[in-house]
Amino acid sequence: MQAIRDLATQIAQHAPGDGMHQSPIPGVWLIRSGQTTEPLRVVHTPAVCIIAQGAKLVSLGGTDYRYDTAKFLVVSVDLPVTGCVTLATEDEPYLCLRVDLDAQLLAALDLELPARPAARGTPPARGLFLSETTPALLEVANRLVRLLDAPHDIAVLAPLLLKEFHYRLLTGEHADTVRHCARGDGRIAQVTRAICWIKDHYNRPLSVERLAGEVGMSSSTLHEHFKTVTSMSPLQYQKQLRLQEARRLMLAGSIDAARAGHAVGYESSSQFSREYARFFGLSPGRDATRLRQSLQAGGLQGMR
Q: Please write the tens of the pLDDT for every residue from 7-22.
A: 999 999 999 999 999 9
Give burial (CB, 10 Å; 0-12/13-18/19+) of 248: middle
202 touches 194 (CB < 8 A): no
Would you give the DSSP letter of residue 18?
A: S
* pTM tops 0.85: yes
Say how many Å lie between the first and final Cα of the chain, rounded.
23
**Neighbouring-strand partners of residue 43:** 80
Average pLDDT value for residue range 67-82: 95
Nearest to 105 by CA among 156, 169, 157: 169
> Could you give phi then psi for residue 177, rounded to 5 degrees?
-65, -45
| Rounded Cα distance, 294 and 107, in Å | 41
Q: Quick check: helix, strand or coil at residue 197?
A: helix
What's the mean per-residue pLDDT of the chain?
90
| Rounded Cα distance, 119 and 223, in Å | 21
pLDDT score of 122 more than 70: no
**16-30, 115-129, 145-159, 258-272, range with the lowest pLDDT:** 115-129
pLDDT at 187: 80
Sign of the alpha-carbon dihedral angle for 167, 169, 175, 179: negative
Taking only the tens place, the pLDDT of each residue in 155-213 is: 999 999 999 999 999 988 888 778 777 665 578 888 989 999 999 999 999 999 999 99
